[in-house]
Amino acid sequence: MITSNQNPKIQTVRALHQQTKERKNSGLFIVEGVRLFEEVLRVNWKIEFILYSDNLSPRGLELLEQAIERKITIDEIPFSLMKKIADTEHPQGLLCVIHQTQLTVPQNLDFVLICDSISDPGNLGTILRSADAAKVQSVLIAPNSTDVFSPKVVRSGMGAHFHIPILYTDWSEIQKICKNPNNPLHTIVASADANLSCWNVDMTKPIALIVGSEAYGPGKEAQALADSMVKIPMPGSSESLNAAIAASILLFEIVRQRYS
């Protein structure tokens, strides 16, 4: 059993929780909880090590047995230590360090989501979760967005990281993808200032949807790529929508048009 705060594995967990640079340089990130750990085992992403405490549920213990069969390094720690290193307020007693894995982007894209300067981790994670549910083929993370592998993004994503190719990229590469002459994408930019309602745009064609910053909306690079600028009609008194809610509405308007 690991009991010391100074143990190298405990220090690794702390660094991965706190430092974007550490996650990027090491290629590692943290998954907490039984549900996400179950998904890690299902998709078979490489696990560096697992830490657990004695409050782990029977289902969690069953999953640990699967990890033992795969010869993954597992250590028990006291619940008091788990509470100190976990990023959740009420840890479930299971934490694992995972290798980031780049999923393959399909060649013939027709449903892409682009996140432009999404700074709130909870919003980005929720956007990824909605993108997963809507069967988006790839999510492009433009500059100035929060780290997609931060603990809160991973938790809010609820497994989306394991299903959708997520790429950090710059605007020149985004332009190449959207304006590929062999496979052009109709680029739709969400903006509260747009004149065109999202209900009045043909979204059955190959689409790249850009959702911008919570505070400032789409940036100039996003607007320059727009084939259509659209808004979500809001008959109520609210001036704007949370970025994750707006993204979800637009993603499922695409789904509605394509599957209805």
Which amino acid appears at position 145 of this protein? S
Closest CA to 244 of 142, 122, 92, 162: 122
CA 54 to chain centre: 30
Q: Residue 228: CB partners within 8 Å, gap ≥ 6?
A: 186, 187, 188, 189, 196, 201
- pLDDT reported for residue 25: 96
Low-confidence ranges of the chain (pLDDT < 70): none
* Secondary element (H or E) of residue 139: strand 138-141
Q: Print burial letters for 232-254: b (CB count within 10 Å at least 16), e (below 16).
A: beeeeeeeebebbebbbebbebb
Closest CA to 37 of 98, 124, 85: 98
- pLDDT reported for residue 215: 78
- pLDDT reported for residue 147: 95
- pLDDT reported for residue 240: 79
Handedness of CA 61, 55, 33, 252 (dihedral sign): positive
Alpha-carbon span 134 to 251, nearest angstrom: 6
* Secondary element (H or E) of residue 66: helix 58-69
Distances (CA, A) of 56 to 85, 97, 209: 16, 17, 41
Question: 93, exposed or middle or buried, with CB in 10 Å at 0-12, 13-18, 19+?
Answer: buried
Closest CA to 28 of 5, 49, 56: 49
- pLDDT reported for residue 249: 97
Instruction: Judge contact between 3 and 81, C-beta under 8 A.
Output: yes
Q: Report, in angstroms and rounded to the nearest whole number, the Rg of the chain calculated over CA atoms.
A: 20
pLDDT tens-digit map of 29-69 = 999 999 999 999 999 999 999 999 999 999 999 999 999 99
Closest CA to 92 of 128, 61, 136, 46: 61
Instruction: Judge contact between 134 and 255, C-beta under 8 A.
Output: yes
pTM comes to 0.94
pLDDT tens-digit map of 217-229 = 899 999 999 999 9
Mean pLDDT of the chain: 95
120 half-sphere exposure, CB direction, 13 A CA radius: 14
